[in-house]
């Protein structure tokens, strides 16, 4: 009985010791990076649960190529040459221990806002669709649309009106413009994305075509056909008298030839009879 009690107490103590050993490891990290031109990320592991066999770095959960090291040192660092929206994200330093120890560092940059198409064409009375995408970390939390005047002044476009509808997600915003008017809606539109780090924007030029624009190719073809028929008609009308004269001349020539031949034959017969 005493042995069972002692064994149970010993098992509890061993389990507690192992838990302490596993949770006792700590990693001191460099502070997060905000809109820096370059940065050096660092992690310092203390009280590892087992000998360190190496380390590597990951970005947004994906292992960074050529970042793995077999160095058994408790210090790891990763250099970022340009901490822009391309390099922004959540970085993780992973130490190869049993179990693995890791910590994260956030690299933040102003969002990059880009319109996939900087020019859009639409017909009058139809609907135009303008869109912009956001890249980087963190993604925009607020999206806004503006219409720019010829003087460069911007007027805010509000969602949910009879004219405009805006649909946005963290990485994309889309503006729908209904019942296009060639005089009021044509122009330059600006999309703007804002995150906790900064703001960025891009522009789209909207061209509105007249309702008759779709008929111009057809009308052009009709005009070409009419012109061609007119030319053929005039040409045939001018050419007809000349052809009649040519036909008369060609018809009279054989008659003269036959008359001459008959006259010669008559003269020959008369000479022979004499």
Identify the CATH number of the domain in which residue 195 sits.
2.60.40.10
- Do 127 and 182 lie in one domain? The reply is yes
Domain final residue pick, 68, 86, 108: 108
- Do 128 and 100 lie in one domain? The reply is no
User: What digits encode the pLDDT tens for the residues 26-74?
Assistant: 999 999 999 999 999 999 999 999 999 999 999 999 999 999 999 899 9
pLDDT band at residue 229 under the 50/70/90 scheme: confident
- Do 189 and 161 lie in one domain? The reply is yes
Domain of 132?
112-211
User: What digits encode the pLDDT tens for the residues 232-257?
Assistant: 888 777 775 555 555 555 554 454 45
In a domain, 221, yes or no: no
User: CA 41, 47, 48, 54 torsion: positive or negative?
Assistant: positive
Which has more confidence, 129 or 250? 129
In a domain, 78, yes or no: yes
Domain final residue pick, 108, 130, 149: 108
User: What digits encode the pLDDT tens for the residues 175-203?
Assistant: 999 999 999 999 999 999 999 999 999 99
Helix, strand, coil percentages in the chain from 3-state DSSP, rounded to 5: 30, 35, 30
- Do 93 and 140 lie in one domain? The reply is no
In a domain, 237, yes or no: no
In a domain, 229, yes or no: no
For residue 220, the model assigns a pLDDT of 79
CA pair distance 175, 197, nearest whole angstrom: 24
- Do 117 and 206 lie in one domain? The reply is yes
CA pair distance 256, 168, nearest whole angstrom: 97
Structure pTM? 0.67
User: For the chain, how many structural domains are there in total?
Assistant: 2
Domain final residue pick, 160, 183, 211: 211
In a domain, 79, yes or no: yes
For residue 23, the model assigns a pLDDT of 47
The three-class DSSP label of residue 133 is strand
User: What digits encode the pLDDT tens for the residues 95-115?
Assistant: 999 999 999 999 999 999 999
């Amino acid at each position: 009985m005493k042995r069972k009690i002692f064994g149970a107490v010993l098992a509890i103590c061993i389990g507690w010791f192992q838990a302490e050993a596993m949770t006792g490891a700590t990693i001191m990290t460099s502070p997060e990076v905000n809109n820096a031109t370059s940065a050096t990320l660092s992690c310092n592991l203390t009280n590892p649960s087992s000998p360190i066999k190496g380390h590597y770095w990951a970005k947004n959960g994906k292992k960074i190529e050529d970042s793995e090291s077999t160095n058994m040192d408790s210090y790891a660092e990763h250099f970022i040459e340009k901490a822009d929206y391309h390099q922004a994200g959540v970085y993780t330093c992973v130490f190869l221990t049993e179990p693995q120890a890791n910590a994260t560092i956030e690299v933040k940059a102003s969002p990059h806002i880009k319109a996939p198409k900087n020019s859009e064409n639409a017909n009058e009375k139809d609907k135009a669709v303008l869109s912009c995408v956001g890249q980087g970390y963190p993604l925009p939390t607020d999206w806004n649309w503006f219409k720019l005047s010829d003087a460069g002044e911007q007027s805010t476009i509000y969602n949910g009106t009879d004219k405009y509808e805006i649909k946005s997600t963290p990485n994309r915003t889309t503006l729908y413009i209904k019942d296009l008017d060639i005089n009021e809606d044509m122009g330059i539109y600006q999309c703007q994305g804002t995150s906790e780090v900064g703001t960025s924007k891009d522009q789209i030029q909207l061209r509105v075509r007249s309702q008759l624009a779709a008929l111009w190719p057809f009308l052009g073809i009709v005009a070409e056909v009419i012109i061609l028929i007119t030319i053929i008609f005039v040409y045939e009308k001018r050419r007809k008298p000349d052809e009649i004269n040519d036909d008369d001349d060609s018809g009279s020539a054989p008659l003269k030839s036959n008359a001459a031949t008959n006259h010669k034959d008559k003269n020959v017969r008369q000479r022979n009879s004499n």
